[in-house]
């Protein structure tokens, strides 16, 4: 029998716990926790993401500072704003919604964010610290996955974990977190040979590919834990993951659904990182 890990319920629990902690923080220090969210241009998907992040701030009691910059914003204008946010003591986290319009250099802009305020966990400092298993701000989506495993007391130590995908925002930090938790980790990608054989070894299989129903039942070992990070549209335009859920679930011990799986955990972990960044700014 498989169990579906309810990411929505877990995210709600974590947010209500975070709300209490943030209120204690405000009481103790007499100040808000601030998150700056910078959006350049009119990308509709980015607008939705930013709206959801601001809503989550309201829910947990983080003060959001939203900067909606026009499409034609220059590199200097963006970087001037980021320099001022980097200096601002009221801002504990800075997030630049990606992708930026094509004429802007995201890499150069993101470098301005001090690693202590890099609540996305994308900076070279945070990525480097993660690989050293040192204190850092961890990329939100893979960090959310680890919380989901923890919430079910799924032990990672000594397990064989396979991550499909090696992106900087999901696959690589996911693999590093699993390795830091003592799993034996294999990272697969588009050039991997014998993907099916690799996946069949997995006690814990994480799919972060971006292809609807990519992971099929014949790729999954009986009793495996399957985590679906994918967010795709199926042939009917319905939101679906990277895993063929209905076929795969029967082989699993645990499986995450899409929607209501990893997705709700990502913004929750952003709130968590903002709280952690504020706490660390005090020590």
Give the contact letters, 146-185, x = binds to ligand NAP (CB under 6 A), - = no.
Answer: ------------------xxxx-xxx--------------
| Closer residue to ligand NAP (CB): 160 or 260 | 260
Q: Is 257 in the site for ligand NAP (CB under 6 A)?
A: no
Helix/strand/coil (H/E/C) assignment for every residue in the chain: CCEECCHHHHHHHHHHHHHHHHHHHHHHHCCCCEEEEEEECCCHHHHHHHHHHHHHHHHHCCEEEEEEECCCCCHHHHHHHHHHHHHCCCCCEEEECCCCCCCCCHHHHHCCCCHHHECCCCCHHHHHHHHCCCCCCCCHHHHHHHHHHHHCCCCCCCCEEEEECCCCCCHHHHHHHHHHCCCEEEEECCCCCCHHHHHHCCCEEEECCCCCCCECHHHCCCCEEEEECCCEECCCCCEECCECHHHHHHHEEEECCCCCCHHHHHHHHHHHHHHHHHHHHCC
Applying the rule CB under 6 A, the residues between 204 and 223 that interact with ligand NAP are 208-210
Instruction: Give catalytic residues, as residue numbers.
Output: 53, 97, 120
- To ligand NAP, the closest distance from the beta carbon of 188 in angstroms equals 5
Candidates 45, 191, 235, 236; binder of ligand NAP (CB under 6 A) is 191
> Which range in 24-32, 49-57, 78-86, 229-237 contacts ligand NAP by CB under 6 A?
229-237
Q: Which residue is nearest to ligand NAP (CB)?
A: 167
Measured from the CB atom, is 81 or 227 closer to ligand NAP? 227
Question: Total number of residues binding ligand NAP (CB under 6 A)?
Answer: 24
Binding test (CB under 6 A) with ligand NAP, winner from 145, 185, 262, 269? 262
Q: Residue from 229, 240, 248, 277 that binds ligand NAP (CB under 6 A)?
A: 229
Residues in touch with ligand NAP (CB under 6 A):
141, 164-167, 169-171, 188-192, 195, 208-210, 229-232, 262-263, 266
């Amino acid at each position: 029998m498989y169990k579906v890990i309810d990411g929505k319920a877990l995210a709600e629990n974590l947010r209500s716990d975070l709300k209490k902690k943030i209120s204690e923080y405000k009481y103790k220090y007499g100040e808000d926790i601030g998150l700056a969210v910078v959006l350049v241009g009119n990308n509709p998907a980015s607008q939705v993401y930013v709206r959801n992040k601001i809503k989550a701030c309201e829910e947990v009691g983080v003060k959001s500072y939203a900067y909606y910059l026009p499409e034609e914003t220059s590199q200097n204008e963006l970087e001037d704003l980021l320099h001022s946010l980097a200096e601002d003591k009221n801002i504990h986290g800075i997030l630049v919604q990606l992708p930026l319009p094509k004429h802007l250099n995201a890499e150069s802009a993101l470098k301005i964010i001090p690693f202590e305020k890099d609540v996305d966990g994308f900076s070279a400092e945070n990525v480097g610290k993660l690989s050293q298993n040192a204190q850092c701000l961890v990329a939100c989506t893979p960090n959310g996955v680890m919380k989901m495993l923890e919430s079910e007391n799924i032990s990672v130590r000594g397990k064989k974990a396979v991550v499909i995908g090696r992106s900087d925002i999901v696959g690589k930090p996911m693999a590093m977190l699993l390795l830091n938790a003592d799993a034996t980790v294999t990272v697969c990608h588009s050039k991997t040979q014998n993907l099916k054989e690799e996946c069949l070894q997995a006690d814990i299989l994480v799919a972060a590919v971006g292809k609807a129903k990519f992971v099929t039942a014949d790729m999954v070992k009986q009793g495996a834990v399957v985590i679906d990070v994918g967010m795709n549209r199926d042939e009917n335009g319905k939101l679906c993951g990277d895993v063929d859920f209905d076929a795969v679930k029967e082989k699993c011990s645990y499986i995450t659904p899409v929607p209501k799986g990893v997705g709700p955990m990502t913004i929750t972990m952003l709130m968590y990182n903002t709280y952690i960044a504020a706490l660390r700014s005090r020590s």
